[in-house]
Structure 1
Amino acid sequence: MAKFHDGNWSLVTGHLSFVLTLPCSPTPVRAGLETRPYRLPTEQLYFLSITIASNIYWTSEKSFSTVRVSKQWIHQMCDINIQIRLATVEDLEQVFSFIRQKAAFDGYLDELQATPEQLEKTLFGRSPLARVLLAEVDNCAIAFALFFYTYSSFLGKPSIWLDDLFVQPHMRGQRVGTALLNYLSTLASENDCGRIEWTVNVNNDRGIEFYQKQGAQILDRIRLCRLSY
């Protein structure tokens, strides 16, 4: 049994084994006999906000009365404020870190060739070849998207090619990817683009499901062709 304290009220559930302050406080206290302060990493708090079991009760410590509330309400209490911005050269180290994290997630870290020096020149030089979006929560970057403009002769319009989209694992399911895609959609609309395109690993079932929920078409009859130099 665990209790989640908020002033004179506690959230009680039998599925977790520690105490934290809601909404999404970074300073929880361990449940049980130990009551000494215990700091839990912030990313775990965001994860908890979407994994709390459905049998949740708020219990007054003064009167011991119990009121049942919904899981959705807890999610709203722990809602996060996602900020999207264009990366600058000052973000070079963070951008490179995200590229490495995505390469590791895709299973291609050993094949990664990009260096911070190359990224500084090609992304933040005098003529950038692509742009980078950063998603932040409390001024901490937790996701990125790398994109550039292309052209479709079929549509007679520019398009956006989304080369990278990566959300750190502990923030998935928190609408971060949706926020990045919505930002890209706004850019596409403002620049009269006909579409946004990207690839997804055929084994990334969760990613495919997410993209389909965003309204994306999965084009099974088209194959990617590549010449490497």
Structure 2
Amino acid sequence: MLSIRHAGIDDLDAVFELIQAIAAHHNQQQYVTTCKTQLLQDGFSEQPKFKVLLAEIDSKIAGYASYSWMYSIWRGKTVMNLDDLFVWEQYRGQKIGQQLMQALREVCSEQHAVQIRWEVEQDNHGAIRFYRELGADVSIKGLCRWQLS
């Protein structure tokens, strides 16, 4: 049976493993520069900079979604920034990603947020199809990064 919950401090090792797994899945391990100490400080402190939802089946972690909050000055409203959505390969095809997205939607409703925003690679056709099936608008827009350190 699937359950979804917010990660706690006892989940730190699992969260770090999931971050490494999604990076490996996208062949982007070189971009993961965080460590468990940084995650502990930034995600599990009194004022966390990010939060993580964990999907579990029979007490085993099947996937996760990580998010943070931003403010849309144009809309004058809070917006959720979805950072990662990942399901372990052996659990794919069981609608876990869809249920994680629905859980994010519920968190947004509780926080009076009006939108969830995220990035998807243009060649990730499976993910784009998945997001469109949810009802998301997938627009092709230039992504700018100004690396400061």
TM-score by length of 1: 0.63
Counterpart of 1:128? Answer: 48
Q: Structure 1 runs of 4+ off > 6 angstroms? A: none
Match of 1:225 among 133, 144, 147: 144
Distance in 2 between residues matched to 1:204 and 1:169, nearest whole Å: 16
Mapping of 1:189-204 within 5 angstroms? 189-204=109-124
Q: What amino acid sits opposite 2:146 in the alignment?
A: L
Q: What amino acid sits opposite 2:144 in the alignment?
A: C
Deviation at 1:224, TM superposition (A): 1.4
Report the 3-state secondary structure (helix = DSSP H, G, I; strand = E; otherwise coil) of the residue aligned with 1:219.
coil
Q: Considering only aligned residues, what root-mean-square deviation do their CA atoms show, in Å?
A: 0.9
Deviation at 1:219, TM superposition (A): 1.0
Larger Rg: 1
Counterpart of 2:10? Answer: 90
Deviation at 1:112, TM superposition (A): 1.6
Counterpart of 1:119? Answer: 39
Q: What amino acid sits opposite 1:138 in the alignment?
A: D
Mapping of 1:1-229 within 5 angstroms? 81-220=1-140, 222-228=141-147, 229=149
Question: Which structure 1 segments of 5+ residues have no match?
Answer: 1-80
Q: What amino acid sits opposite 2:57 in the alignment?
A: V
Report the 3-state secondary structure (helix = DSSP H, G, I; strand = E; otherwise coil) of the residue aligned with 1:200.
coil
Higher helix share: 2
Deviation at 1:111, TM superposition (A): 2.8
Question: Which structure 2 segments of 5+ residues have no match?
Answer: none
Report the 3-state secondary structure (helix = DSSP H, G, I; strand = E; otherwise coil) of the residue aligned with 1:132.
strand
Deviation at 1:188, TM superposition (A): 1.0
Report the 3-state secondary structure (helix = DSSP H, G, I; strand = E; otherwise coil) of the residue aligned with 1:185.
helix
Q: What amino acid sits opposite 2:143 in the alignment?
A: L
